[in-house]
Amino acid sequence: MTTPVKIAITGAAGQIGYSLLFRIASGALFGPDVPVQLRLLEIPASMQALEGVAMELDDCAFPLLDSVELGDNAEHIFNGANLALLVGARPRSKGMERKDLLDANGAIFTEQGKALNKVAAEDVRIGVTGNPANTNAMIAMNNAPDIPAERFSALTRLDHNRALAQLARKTQSRVDEITNMTIWGNHSATQYPDIYHAKINGHSAAELVEQHWIEDDFIPTVAQRGSAIIEARGASSAASAASATIDAARDWLHGTPEGDWVSMAVVSDGSYGIPEGLMYSFPVTTQDGNWQIVHDLEINDFSRAKMDASATELSEERDTVTELGLA
Ligand code: NAX
């Protein structure tokens, strides 16, 4: 029998967790032949809810679900994890300043980075969905000195998928006819969805749409999609965020198709003038669980300004967490 993969998931009793666990247990991430062991982390106050979720996992009788471990201790849950999906985070509550949010989450991701450093498997990959995802991932990375920095990534795949869907709708094409979409920067309102390199059936996407659509419709719709969903649903994106978390991990581990790339927030090596060490979303190709930033793309002035604005925001977040002693 194939050795089961150990997947640690934090915030497992939350809304994203409620979609994510069942899809992973049914084989959506590792395919129909690989058994999975779920190791689920929650805070003490949510352990009872997590037990309910685990009962439902039992009741699905998933053939691929080898075991489920629940706990509120990061070192216990991360023990031996091959993949850690860090979804749980402290949400912004009323009256909370950005700095307070970074502080509260910094404490969580400092502790989890240290725990991963101590007990995760040699081959661990760590995907951060919990917001502010880019900076949380940077904090975890900086607190795990024995894990290579390239093993950390923050989720901008939901933004990437949203961009594909909007472009497909506008051009009356199918999402699988679109390649080379890019999200640059932070998973926040400053993100820059870039279609200047995207292709639809091999043709330049930017030539098929008007510039004013890109500026006045496409970019704001993608960047503000999360708020639009909260407005409509009364709750933040959950199933789509879970789906993107799976897409991101699957493509990271199993590779991108020839000629295409995906967007992942990864540690900057200074490519495209983005300050080193920031967790910034780039176009990347992946192979055998490793990613590489796509180099030498031509960047026009419009793109440059937007890429820099998002880098500035991430630098400010980094300054704040550095002042707080978290990174
Ligand atoms: P929920 O509030 O429904 O669930 C979060 C869960 O995390 C809760 O059950 C909570 O008890 C748990 N938790 C909090 N601190 C924890 C800790 N230290 N260890 C373990 N568990 C902990 O939020 P949900 O809608 O599931 O969203 C989860 C996170 O994803 C949020 O930070 C959210 O902002 C973020 N998102 C990120 C997206 C992205 O594209 N990167 C998009 C969707 C989503 O907004």
For CA atoms 156, 158, 162, 168, the dihedral sign is positive
Binding residues, as ranges, are 11-17, 92, 98, 105, 112, 129-131, 162
Which among 19, 40, 46 is the best mutation to test ligand 1's pocket, defined by most ligand atoms within 8 Å of the CB?
46
Nearest to 163 by CA among 212, 121, 205: 205
Residue 314 neighbours by CB distance under 10 Å: 26
Is-contact 260 164, C-beta < 8 A? no
pLDDT band at 112 (very low <50, low <70, confident <90, very high): very high
Is-contact 194 204, C-beta < 8 A? no
Pair type for strands 279-287 and 290-293: antiparallel
Question: Out of 3.65.10.10, 3.50.50.60, 3.40.50.880, 3.40.50.720, which CATH number does the structure's domain 5-154 have?
Answer: 3.40.50.720
Torsion of CA 39, 40, 41, 43, to 10 degrees: -150
pLDDT tens per residue across span 214-246:
999 999 999 999 999 999 999 999 999 999 999
Closest C-alpha residue for ligand 1 atom 18: 108
Closest C-alpha residue for ligand 1 atom 29: 130
pLDDT of residue 95: 79
pLDDT band at 120 (very low <50, low <70, confident <90, very high): very high
pLDDT mean over 161-165: 98
16 CA to middle of ligand 1, Å? Answer: 7
**Burial class, 272, CB count within 10 angstroms (exposed 0-12 / middle 13-18 / buried 19+):** buried
Whether the model pTM is above 0.90: yes
Least-confidence region, from 88-97, 226-235, 245-254: 88-97
Distance of CA 219 to the CA centre of its chain: 19
Nearest to 218 by CA among 187, 193, 189, 244: 193
Pair type for strands 152-154 and 125-128: parallel
pLDDT of residue 98: 80
Residue type, 149: A
Pair type for strands 262-267 and 279-287: antiparallel
Phi, psi (degrees; rounded to nearest 5) at 200: -120, 115
DSSP label of 212 = H
Q: What residues have CB less than 8 Å from 70, skipping those under 6 apart?
A: 12, 40, 42, 47, 50, 51, 54
Domains in the chain: boundaries? 5-154, 157-317
Q: Residues with beta carbon inside 6 Å of ligand 1? A: 10-11, 13-17, 41-43, 46, 87-91, 108, 129-131, 133, 155, 158, 187, 226, 236-238, 241
Please state, in angstroms and rounded to a whole number, the distance separating the CA atoms of residues 141 and 267: 9
Active site (annotated) includes residue 187: yes
Nearest to 82 by CA among 145, 142, 136, 35: 35
Q: What percent of the chain has pLDDT over 90?
A: 94
Instruction: Give me the CATH code for the 157-317 domain, please.
Output: 3.90.110.10
Q: Per-residue pLDDT for 327 more than 80?
A: no
Q: Per-residue pLDDT for 1 more than 80?
A: no
Pair of tokens at residue 123? 């081959």
Pair of tokens at residue 194? 């870039």
- H/E element, 169: helix 157-171
User: ipTM beyond 0.85?
Assistant: yes
pLDDT mean over 92-96: 80
